[in-house]
Structure 1
Amino acid sequence: MKILDWYIVKRYLGTFLTMLLLFIPIGITVNLAEKIDKILANDVPFVEVALYYLNFTIYFANLLFPLFLFLSVIWFTSKLANNTEVIAFLSSGVSFWRFLRPYMIGATIVCLGAFVLGTYLAPRANKGYNEFIYEYLKRHKKDKETKDIYRQIADNDYIYVSNFSTKSKTGRDFTWEHFDGNQMTYKISAARLKFNPKDTTYTLFNYKKRTIGIDGDILEGKQKLDTILPFDLDDLTPVKYIAETFTTSELRKFIKKERARGSSYISRYEVTLQKRFSLPVAAYILTIIAVAVSAMKRRGGMGSNLAFGIMLAFIFIFFDKIFGTLAEQSDFPPLVAVWLPNILFAILAVYLLQNAKR
């Protein structure tokens, strides 16, 4: 790289890291001010609080790094424009595309780091972050689906529970159906199912089994039956945030398994998976927009560029949240919901870039 490239890349990375160091303590302070009453009321150990905010830092940085990147590019590029450095670069015969190249190099470095963070470090941080919230801050709120649970536990086996209590580990109206091709061969039902953590067995109350045969059905029944069943409760009722705790490869396998089981949270899991790829791409798009907006010297100076940039950042967050929630709560395709904000802002980036080149 030439002197111009090194100069801009160093400013790019340095301003981005400075922006992180400025905003993360603010985020921690706001979060602590909001939750300090519950933390004190629940007598949360200091070590747990310290680990929570370490995980919160990783979670916060991974979630908002494209916006930090966007604001940092506007900041230092506006300073370059106000010091007439951009004019000097372009007047020396450097094309606007050539001027944009070190920005893309810097974005690539940041995005690679963010991809590694989101794939390996962030899942572990998300697990600790969410576990702390449900353990100490949301003790009376449910983090698992508890009604109308339907799962495919094997190629030919399906189970159903009308209601499940995570506290007592008890399910009601339990049904297990086994098929041979399209033909049901037996069906097990119980009015109540209880999991026994000590020996990982299940107790079936008002147990009934119907074996379907050619010459007639065989019926069995007991008031109470202790047995072993081929599924685990955590596997049967996964927490809502579980997708955030997997690496990308683990998440793909988990989605495949949950889709076969008929999980009601497939859209939520798909949104989580797609965002791991859309956020790095968004960083490139936002970088181009930031350069196009701030490369020109304006009357309002850096303030007008930052005001316009913050407005665009809030619009991006708004679209991202709206479409993400729409995909999780309806039949709207998660792939479209996650990538649509990027597509809209990519069109805006092309438009602004053409104006900036003029």
Structure 2
Amino acid sequence: MTRIDRFIFMRLLLATLMVLGVLVFIFIVIDFSENSDTFSDRGAELSEIWSRYYLNYIPEMIRLVSPVAVFVAVLLVAGQMSERLELTAIKGAGVSFYRFMVPFLLFATMVTGVLSYLDGFVIPGANDERFEFERQYLARGSDRIDRSRLFRQENEHTMLTVNYFDSRSAMGYHVRIFRFENDRVAEIVDASRMEWQPETEEWRLIRLERRLFTDEGIVRTSSHQADTTLTVLPQDMARSTNDIYRLTYPEIIDYIRSLERSGVGGVALPKVQFFGKLFYPFGTIVITLVGLGISTSNRRKGGRGVLLGTGLIVIFFYLIIMKIIEPFGASGQLDPLWAAAAPHLLFLLISFFLIWRTPK
């Protein structure tokens, strides 16, 4: 990196950290002012609010506002260099505009890598603790997709039905297991409940009755309890809209495969959420290109205020389009991958157009 590259990189870093700190601080102040009465009414201590809630919320806040912070930093740094004719001097020294973009893209790539790592391996654990705090003190239970009258396909020969499943205790009630053989029911197992055993990673059936259908008739047996090796996991039973945000990338892949194997519906939603998590950090690179195109295309009247206003309008529409398209992927009208990628591809094309119009 040249001296100019290091100068631009450090200015971007400082501006991003400043904007990020301000946004996170404002977010915490607003959230606390809205929830302080609820915290007090439910008996949450200040130390617990900070350690369990806000310390675990800050990584998610950083993930959400980092692209905005980088975008504002790019507008400030590139816009200021354009206004002060520093960009003109750099071009006059024989440096092309594309070479001028390099430190900006390097910085955006670094932020993208950090966000991807945080989102994939750090934030899920923090989110899990935060969701439990919200359920306990803010009454924000995660939105359950299903919790009663569950049907899960264990494999092509076995089907499981559960009348009600309690996710907190990992316990299902009124369980029935069907085993098929040659297109007919070969066995039915009824149990009053089933309990997940984390030590052995198996389900324990309590007060079960087994009916085996043979050519001679029905053979009935009963027992107080028995362990079974069902491949259905607790997270496959009581699903919620927050599941994806509690899991690391490898765990999400296993989770989606497990749902598909179990034969449940609504798998498009977690797929859209997963692809959205994957693409969101890369939006930092896209928004950096958009910021460069806006701030260097020409010198605007109104100064920095007009520049920031234009940039905030652009990123507002960026986020709105992401939210508009996501439900189409969740409902299956669009492929989940394309639903998550489309807003980023659209604004990538817009950034190419803006940079193409920039005087070289």
Normalised TM-score (structure 2): 0.87
The code of the aligned residue for 1:133 comes to E
**AA in 1 matched with 2:23:** F
Q: In structure 2, what is the Cα distance between the partners aligned to 1:86 and 1:228?
A: 71
Report the more deviating stretch, 170-179 or 258-267. 170-179
Provide structure 1 residue ranges, at least 5 long, that are not aligned to the other structure. Answer: none
Paired letter, 1:16: T
Q: CA RMSD in A?
A: 2.9
Instruction: Report the Cα distance in structure 2 between the residues aligned to 1:166 and 1:329, rounded to whole angstroms.
Output: 25
Asked if 2 retains the 8 angstrom alpha-carbon contact of 1:70 and 1:287, the reply is yes
Structure 2 match to 1:328: 330
Partner residue in 1 for 2:70: 69
Equivalent pair of 2:166/2:238 in contact (CA under 8 Å): no
1:30 maps to: 30
Per-residue deviation, residues 31-66 of structure 1 (Å, max 9, x unmatched): 111211211111013332112101111011112322
Q: Which structure 2 residue ranges, 5 or more long, are not aligned?
A: none
| Match in the other structure for 1:338 | 340
Letter paired with 2:337? L
Residue of structure 1 equivalent to 2:153:
152
Q: Is 1:196–1:203's contact at 8 Å kept on the other side of the alignment?
A: no
Q: Is the 8 A contact 1:84 1:297 kept in 2?
A: no
Change beyond 3 A, Cα 1:228–1:27: same
State the partner residue of 1:351. 353
SS in 1 for 2:250: helix
Q: Distance in 1 between matches of 2:80 and 2:295?
A: 9
Give CA-to-partner distance per residue, 1:161-211, whole Å, 9 cap, x none.
Answer: 244455897756632112347554212246x536599x984445xx65432
Q: Contact 1:12–1:76 (CA<8 Å) still a contact in 2?
A: yes
| Cα 1:304/1:181, change in 2 over 3 Å | farther
Q: 2:43 and 2:82 mapped to 1: Cα distance?
A: 52
Shift of 1:4: 1.7
Q: Distance in 1 between matches of 2:163 and 2:106?
A: 54
Q: Report the more deviating stretch, 96-105 or 231-240.
A: 231-240
Which one is further off, 68-77 or 163-172? 163-172
2:94 aligned counterpart, secondary structure: coil
Task: Give the Cα separation in 2 of the matches to 1:288 and 1:86.
Answer: 16
Task: Verify the 8 A CA contact 1:196 1:202 in the aligned structure 2.
Answer: no
CA contact (8 A) 2:180 2:186 kept: yes
Spell out the pairing of 1:1-358 with structure 2 (5 A cutoff): 1-51=1-51, 52-138=53-139, 143=144, 145-153=146-154, 156-164=157-165, 174-180=175-181, 184-189=185-190, 193=193, 195=195, 201-204=204-207, 209-213=210-214, 215-220=215-220, 225-230=224-229, 233=234, 235-295=236-296, 296-357=298-359
- Greater shift, 115-124 or 152-161, is seen at 152-161
The alpha carbon displacement at 1:312 in A equals 0.9
Q: Secondary structure at the match of 1:252?
A: helix
Greater mean alpha carbon deviation, residues 301-310 or residues 237-246: 237-246
CA contact (8 A) 1:134 1:143 kept: no
Identity %: 22
Between 1:264-273 and 1:343-352, the stretch displaced more is 264-273
| Aligned counterparts of 1:148 and 1:309: Cα–Cα separation in 2 | 49
Instruction: Find the aligned partners of 2:6 and 2:242 in 1 and give their Cα distance.
Output: 41
- Alpha carbons 2:236, 2:258 under 8 Å: kept: no
Contact 1:123 1:246 in 2 (8 A): yes
CA shift, 1:300, in A, is 1.5
What's the CA shift string for 1:201-229, capped at 9, x where partnerless? 4445xx6543232x24415377x954444
Residue type of the partner of 1:299? K
Residue 175 to residue 89, structure 1, CA distance change in 2 (3 Å): same
Instruction: Please tell me the residue identity of whatever aligns with 2:123.
Output: A
The secondary structure found in structure 2 opposite 1:94 is coil
